[in-house]
Amino acid sequence: MLQSALRTATPQAESLAGLWWLMLGLSVAVFAVVMALLAAGLLMPRRPPPGERVIMVGVGVTVVVLGGLLVHSTLVGARVAAGTDGDPLRVEVVGRQWWWEVRYPQDGAVLANEIRLPAGRPVEIALISGDVIHSFWVPGLAGKMDLVPGHPNLLRITPAEPGVFRGQCGEYCGTQHALMAFMVVVQPPADFARWLVGQGEPAAEPADGLAARGRALFLSSGCGACHTVRGTAADGRVGPDLTHVGSRLTIGAGILPQNVGTLGGWIANSQAIKPGNAMPVFDQFSGGELRAIATWLAGLE
């Protein structure tokens, strides 16, 4: 239920879920009435048809119910779109085929496929397309908002309490649309503040020889042409920023848990896991070399 629209953590998503339950109740009632009329009409003994007036009665009821629903739904929409008052945290999300770049412009932090937010503070998420149209969707936090080239959009939410939520691209965006997911972690404000400071810093020095060997291999094998690791020579902008990849919950855009094993497997043959993604296959590495690189990356917390 990590991605359910009915397990909500913001007043915005809560309103949408409330609208669903209201409309579900109405629909069940209408369906029951219509089916009862259908069954009664079919089963009753022969009798002359009713006059056209019954149609008018049915239409009158429909107009009243629909009109009420329209007013309610419009007001809910206006409320949800407005967000809540307060000093908002601004986050930028750039959608790319097929991953999410996440930036905290005020703090210089850049990461991928994971967004952390403080509980209780309004958030403005600026949604920017890096290539084609994507749609930003975390059902537990908000409805969808598209990332359209040339049209930066703004999503306003207010996470109420800590929790972990999964989100996924909502608009078909090419080969790997299916595996373009991300995680949203809502934290207590103090934890979040600590995390954000850490994300703004350059990468940690390798903890041991294995990690140091991993870093050397990473830098000598051309990985830096696509990836940035702040504090090293790697400054590529094609793939995700890996400066603090070891602190993330997942890799591959929300599809595998992040650990030494999955990192090594991803480097060796990401095309088997997520065919069509932009990362080449690195099958020239030996098992030991893979382990070294993965250990270094997993240590970048």
Partner 1 sequence: MSAPGESGREALNRVWAQPRGWRYFSEVNNTAVGLWYLAAGLGFFAVAGVLALLMRLQLAWPWMGFLGPEAYNQVFTMHGTIMMVVFAVPIMEAVAVYVLPQMLGVRDLPFPRLSSYGFWCYLLGGLLLLSSFLFGPVPNGGWFMYTPLSGPEYTPGLNTDFWLLGLTFIEISAVAACIELIVGIMKTRAPGMSLDRMPILGWAFLTVAVMILFAFPPLLLGDVLLEAERVLDWPFFDAGRGGDPLLWQHLFWFFGHPEVYIIFLPGAAMVSTILPTFCGRPLVGHQWVVVATIATGILSFGLWVHHMFAAGIPLLSLSLFSAASMAVAIPSGIQVFAWLATLWGARPRWDTPFLFVIGFLVIFVIGGLTGVMVASVPFDWQVTDTHFVVAHFHYVLIGGAIFPLFGALTYWFPLPSGRLMDETVGKWSFWLMFVGFNVTFFPLHVLGLLGMPRRVYTYPGGLGWEWLNLTATIGAFVLGAGVAVFFANLAWSWKRGRPAGHDPWKAGTLEWAGPTPLTDSGGASVPRVRSLHPLWDQPAEMAAAARGEALMCRPTTHGRETLRVSAVSAEPQQVIQVSGPGWSQVAAAAATAVMFGAGTFHLWGVAAAGGVVTLALLTRWAWHSDRQPPMARVDIGQGIVVPTYAADHSSHAWWAAVVAVLFDGAAYLALLSAYVFLWLVNPVWPPPPWEGRIALGDILAGGGMLAVAAVLAHAGAGLHRRGRHWALPAGLGGAVAVAVAVAWTGLSTLTAADLGPTRHAFPATVWVMALYTLVHLGVATLLALLVLARQAAGLVTPVRRMTVMMTVLAWDFAAFTGLASMAMLVLWPATGGGGGICTW
Partner 2 sequence: MVSLRDATLVVAAPGLWFGYFLLVYGVHALACRFLWPSGPVLAAVTALTAAALAAEAWPLRRLARIEPAGFYRAAGLGLGALSLLATLWVAATSWMVPPCG
Residue numbers at the binding site for partner 2 (CB under 8 A):
63, 67, 70-71, 74-75, 77-78, 81-82
The C-alpha atoms of residue 142 and residue 16 are separated, in whole angstroms, by 8
Which CB sits closer to partner 1, 65 or 193? 65
Beta bridge mates, 100: 95
Among 16, 125, 186, 263, indicate the residue that binds partner 1 (CB under 8 A): 16
Return the one option of partner 1, partner 2, none that residue 16 interacts with (CB less than 5 to 8 A, by type): partner 1
State which of positions 117-136 bind partner 1 (CB under 8 A): 127, 131-133, 135
The C-alpha atoms of residue 229 and residue 210 are separated, in whole angstroms, by 18
Which CB sits closer to partner 1, 108 or 275? 275
Which CB sits closer to partner 2, 70 or 238? 70
Q: What is the DSSP letter of 254?
A: T
Verify binding: residue 74, partner 1, rule CB under 8 A: yes
Among 25, 31, 106, 108, indicate the residue that binds partner 1 (CB under 8 A): 31
Which CB sits closer to partner 1, 26 or 212? 26
Return the one option of partner 1, partner 2, none that residue 270 interacts with (CB less than 5 to 8 A, by type): none
Cα-based distances in Å from 192 to 71, 120, 162, 189, 209 = 39, 11, 10, 5, 31
Q: Which two tokens stand for residue 255?
A: 């599809």
Which CB sits closer to partner 1, 171 or 289? 171
Return the one option of partner 2, partner 1, none that residue 209 interacts with (CB less than 5 to 8 A, by type): none
| Pick from 148, 142, 7, 35: nearest CA to 83 | 142
Which CB sits closer to partner 2, 24 or 81? 81
The C-alpha atoms of residue 146 and residue 113 are separated, in whole angstroms, by 16
The C-alpha atoms of residue 89 and residue 124 are separated, in whole angstroms, by 6
Which CB sits closer to partner 1, 150 or 287? 150
Among 48, 220, 284, 287, indicate the residue that binds partner 1 (CB under 8 A): 48
Report in angstroms how near the CB of residue 231 gets to partner 1 at its nearest.
Answer: 33
Verify binding: residue 266, partner 1, rule CB under 8 A: no
Residue 166 near residue 183, CB atoms below 8 Å: yes
Q: At what angle do helices 53-82 and 11-43 cross, to 10 degrees?
A: 170
Verify binding: residue 252, partner 1, rule CB under 8 A: no
The C-alpha atoms of residue 12 and residue 160 are separated, in whole angstroms, by 10
Q: How far apart are the first and last CA of the chain?
A: 28
Beta bridge mates, 95: 100, 129
Choose the binding region for partner 1 from 44-52, 101-109, 182-190, 231-239 (rule: CB under 8 A).
44-52
Return the one option of partner 1, partner 2, none that residue 164 interacts with (CB less than 5 to 8 A, by type): none
State which of positions 136-165 bind partner 1 (CB under 8 A): 137, 139, 142-146, 148-151, 153
- Beta strand 114-118 with 181-187: parallel, antiparallel or unpaired? parallel
Kindly state the helix (H) or strand (E) to which residue 58 belongs, with its residue range: helix 53-82
Query: Tokens 């970048």 — which residue?
Result: 300
Report in angstroms how near the CB of residue 139 gets to partner 1 at its nearest.
Answer: 4
Among 76, 119, 204, 278, indicate the residue that binds partner 1 (CB under 8 A): 76
